[in-house]
Chain A
Amino acid sequence: MIGLFFTFVISACGSKLQIDEQSIINDPPPGPFAIDGKALWNERCKSCHGTLELTDKKDRTPEQIQLSIQQISSMKTLSNLTSLTDAQIKAISEALQTEQTNEEFASRKLLLGTRTYVSSLFRTLFMTTGSETAINAKILDLIDRQPASFGGPCVPYEGGAACPGDRLINRNAPVLPLPSVTRRGFFIRACQEILSIDVAVTNVLGKVGLNTASVATSQNIDKLVNLFTPGRMVDGETIGSLIQIHMMAKTQSLSDLEAWRFTVLSLCSAITLELL
């Protein structure tokens, strides 16, 4: 439930970050009077050249397509190709484009850590002795074993537990992973499940010299924020909000441990943690 809430909140933020993410997930639909190049491809080209996603004919210009239809013997005899209008060929060409380079902004990807980064983040924050097996199991399951979501290729020759599962399938997991709802979901779930283990809460507090009896002062909250995002400045308002969370939990008669659990969960769930 909390996970779903976070996903909703994050997608509702409307920040530039979210626009980038959404544009990756959803292709804009064609306008009402536009020629649907994708549909034309599926109807007239797919049988020979494969799906739009997998074809090796990507990024062809209208001129290249036109010349191919005129010159290639197996194409020039097909009336469903020779009958294509200039506008239809242009629409097919547009559907074949993989990258829009003439945008107002640079062609920039969000820089996200791969699964090795994210798992080391969780281990650094929530483990102290290295023998916290329950926490380690969660990290293995929700981060290390998710190369498709978090990126970080599995090199079959590396062996060991670093990359469980089918290493051959995951050998091409990206070194520059893309944001996705699935990745966010795994990340937030990892925060929730790890922080449901009491020792994870006491460990993270202990790393900045706090314990569950510590008071949520702005100084103490600032120490935590600095642990999660070293050197990143956070304004007083955000610190104030975190203190409010803590205090509200206390006024509802939750224990000190629960109050800190809520506070740390808020920090853990911020997307900033995944960004490099």
Chain B
Amino acid sequence: MKLKKILFIILFKIIFDLTNHVNAKELSNLALYSRCYAQVSQSFMPPQDPRTGAVRNGTKDPITACLEVLDMAKFTASGNTRIADANNPVAVSVLRTMHNLHSSWLEVTDFPNIADFGNNRDIRDLYDPTQPALYFTRALFGASVPYSDVVKSTDHLRPLRTTDDPGNSVSGQPKSASQFLSFKWAPNGTLLGAYDTDDMVWNYQFTSASGNPGSGTATAGRNAGGGIMGTPAYLLLTIAETADSYRANGSSVMARKWARSVYNDLLCRPLPVVRMGDAAAFVDTNSSSDFRKAQTCTVCHVSHDRLSGVVRNFRYQVVARFQQTPPAGGVFPTWLTINQSAETVWPINPDPNYAQRPPNGVFYFRNYLGELKNITNINGLNALGATIADQPDFYICAAKRYYEYFTGITVDTGDLGDASHPALSPINLQHRQEVIQLGLDLKNHQSLRTLIEKILRLPQYRKSDFE
């Protein structure tokens, strides 16, 4: 008992001493490399790591060594679509770690219950909800992929995993029991890369549970433009108007949640993205929608409803809705024909022809400087991608996210000129300025790897508590 008591006192001291070592000290080269190694791979640096000796004796810079670890996950094989060595556990860990990080940047992580299909089981088999994050991952590990490609690419990226067309569903059901026999399911296994697919057009034919024949064509791999924003999985994840008969009407029914996700995921800005006063001119008491009558509601709708105009032609193609409980089936994005003229104002009442008018949208946004961006007549997703790629906030957002991951410091990159925005302390302003500069630099050099290197080489990264 006495021994236990004495041991506890000494243990207390050791824990206290060791804990003290995490406060405001400059890390040694080896400790710095070890931290960085852990962050890029989420694994403990093994004692036999080949760079350790050189880092310890000062012949190799610790950040250079860490970047070599990061580079193990570069897509250098199979036409720059996959990592060089699928059997290298460090490379696999780095790719998994960074892709998980990128996936966490997206606010919607699972499909809504579209068309009332129980548990989305078939939708999850057809689409991987982490697929949209591949646009970030490819920008980091792909060969000379500019960051703007995240919103400008027209590729449809498919995860490259160990099994490309698995025989079992995510929930473990055999594919042979599915009505989607001719469809290629989402790959499973270890993530090894990403590649651009064809449109994945499938001709299906089957007999439904009720005995009715079903046949047709479904397209699962066509990117509608604007990189991540037009990829089928992103649209199905974020539109969140779940009725299979969904059609945007310019007023009550809109793909506004998709637009909310665009502001949040790509610009790091939750709604509202403009100031209260910016909405005043759009309030209309004659509207049939409550949100147009109250400025506090309009301040969000003025940005997300009008932005979603670029995907107004979207509708669901629902395949194989069996008469079974729960209903099962697959959902694919498809697009209505444009056969109506463009509207001239933001409708105050539902417009039955809205979904078949040209896909014009408005980007209405206060940027990090507080400048109001009112970019009208954005025609379709590719034009929106170009608009977003032109905004410094798009790059500042990426800098903010990596900065947070590597230093733990959350930086506010919002519109500080908004009267409702909380004031920032001098230290938070300092971090904000740092992140803004990193973002502006990214806009110029377009390289996520360079952005990460710049963060790792900041003096505060060497400090044990990052202050």
Q: With a CB–CB cut-off of 8 A, which chain B residues contact A17?
A: 19, 22-23
Q: With a CB–CB cut-off of 8 A, which chain B residues contact A234?
A: 17-18, 21
The answer, yes or no, to whether A215 is at the interface (CB within 8 Å) is: no
Q: With a CB–CB cut-off of 8 A, which chain B residues contact A152?
A: 42, 100
Question: Quick check: which of B27-35, B149-157, B444-452 contacts chain A, the rest being far away?
Answer: B27-35
The answer, yes or no, to whether B276 is at the interface (CB within 8 Å) is: yes
Contact (Cβ within 8 A) A108 B408: yes
Chain A residues 248-276 with CB under 8 Å of chain B are 248-249, 252, 262, 266-267, 269-272, 275-276
In the complex, A63→B7 CA distance in Å?
A: 58
The proximity string for A residues 135-152 relative to B, scoring 1 for CB distances below 8 Å and 0 otherwise, is 000000000000000001
In the complex, A245→B7 CA distance in Å?
A: 6
Decide yes or no: A67 and B422 within 8 Å by CB, A156-B124, A156-B170, A159-B189 being known contacts.
no
Chain A residues 35-54 with CB under 8 Å of chain B are none
The answer, yes or no, to whether A117 is at the interface (CB within 8 Å) is: yes
Contact (Cβ within 8 A) B124 A231: no
Contact (Cβ within 8 A) A61 B405: no
In the complex, A229→B31 CA distance in Å?
A: 8
Question: Quick check: which of B199-207, B235-243, B290-298, B326-334 contacts chain A, the rest being far away?
Answer: B290-298
Question: Quick check: which of A83-91, A168-176, A194-202 contacts chain B, the rest being far away?
Answer: A168-176
In the complex, A155→B407 CA distance in Å?
A: 25
Count of residues in B whose CB is under 8 Å from the partner chain: 87
The answer, yes or no, to whether A6 is at the interface (CB within 8 Å) is: yes
Contact (Cβ within 8 A) B19 A116: no
The answer, yes or no, to whether A242 is at the interface (CB within 8 Å) is: yes
Question: Quick check: which of B68-76, B335-343, B424-432 contacts chain A, the rest being far away?
Answer: B424-432
In the complex, A229→B32 CA distance in Å?
A: 11
The answer, yes or no, to whether B20 is at the interface (CB within 8 Å) is: yes
The proximity string for B residues 12-51 relative to A, scoring 1 for CB distances below 8 Å and 0 otherwise, is 1111111111110001111111110011001111110000
Contact (Cβ within 8 A) B3 A10: no
Q: With a CB–CB cut-off of 8 A, which chain B residues contact A111?
A: 39, 407-408
The answer, yes or no, to whether A101 is at the interface (CB within 8 Å) is: yes
Contact (Cβ within 8 A) A171 B110: yes
Contact (Cβ within 8 A) B296 A72: yes
Closest beta carbon of chain A to B170's beta carbon, Å: 5
Closest beta carbon of chain B to A90's beta carbon, Å: 13
The answer, yes or no, to whether B181 is at the interface (CB within 8 Å) is: no
The answer, yes or no, to whether A106 is at the interface (CB within 8 Å) is: yes
Partner of B11, one of A155, A159, A232, A266: A266
The answer, yes or no, to whether B161 is at the interface (CB within 8 Å) is: yes
In the complex, A5→B295 CA distance in Å?
A: 56
Chain A residues 107-121 with CB under 8 Å of chain B are 107-111, 113-114, 116-117, 120-121
Contact (Cβ within 8 A) B10 A245: yes
Contact (Cβ within 8 A) A104 B427: yes
Minimum CB distance partner of B99 in chain A: A155
Question: Quick check: which of B101-109, B311-319, B344-352 contacts chain A, the rest being far away?
Answer: B101-109
Partner of A272, one of B12, B19, B27, B431: B19
Contact (Cβ within 8 A) A158 B191: yes
Minimum CB distance partner of A75 in chain B: B294
Contact (Cβ within 8 A) A230 B18: no
The answer, yes or no, to whether A207 is at the interface (CB within 8 Å) is: yes
The answer, yes or no, to whether B250 is at the interface (CB within 8 Å) is: no
Q: With a CB–CB cut-off of 8 A, which chain B residues contact A168?
A: 110, 170
Partner of B422, one of A15, A101, A167, A242: A101
The answer, yes or no, to whether B309 is at the interface (CB within 8 Å) is: no
Q: With a CB–CB cut-off of 8 A, which chain A residues contact B407?
A: 108, 111
Decide yes or no: A120 and B14 within 8 Å by CB, A109-B410, A252-B3, A270-B19 being known contacts.
no
Contact (Cβ within 8 A) B47 A275: no
Q: With a CB–CB cut-off of 8 A, which chain B residues contact A233?
A: 21, 28
The answer, yes or no, to whether B186 is at the interface (CB within 8 Å) is: yes
Closest beta carbon of chain A to B262's beta carbon, Å: 17
Contact (Cβ within 8 A) A155 B32: no
Partner of B7, one of A10, A68, A231, A262: A262
Contact (Cβ within 8 A) A101 B10: no
Given contacts A105-B427, A207-B47, 15 further A-B contacts (CB under 8 A): A64-B420, A67-B295, A68-B294, A106-B425, A107-B410, A108-B408, A111-B408, A114-B42, A152-B100, A157-B187, A157-B188, A230-B31, A232-B27, A232-B28, A235-B17
Q: Which 4 A-B pairs have the closest CB atoms?
A: A231-B30, A231-B31, A71-B294, A61-B420
28 A–B pairs (Cβ distance < 8 Å), ordered by A: A13-B19, A15-B20, A16-B465, A59-B270, A64-B296, A67-B296, A72-B294, A73-B294, A101-B422, A102-B425, A104-B427, A106-B431, A107-B410, A107-B412, A111-B407, A114-B42, A124-B44, A156-B170, A176-B405, A231-B27, A234-B18, A234-B21, A238-B13, A241-B17, A269-B11, A271-B15, A271-B19, A275-B22
| Residues of B participating in the A interface, judged by any CB pair closer than 8 Å | 3, 6-8, 10-23, 27-35, 38-39, 42-47, 52, 56, 93, 96-97, 100-101, 103-104, 109-110, 124, 128-130, 159, 161, 170, 186-191, 270, 276, 290, 293-297, 404-405, 407-412, 419-420, 422-425, 427-428, 431, 465-467
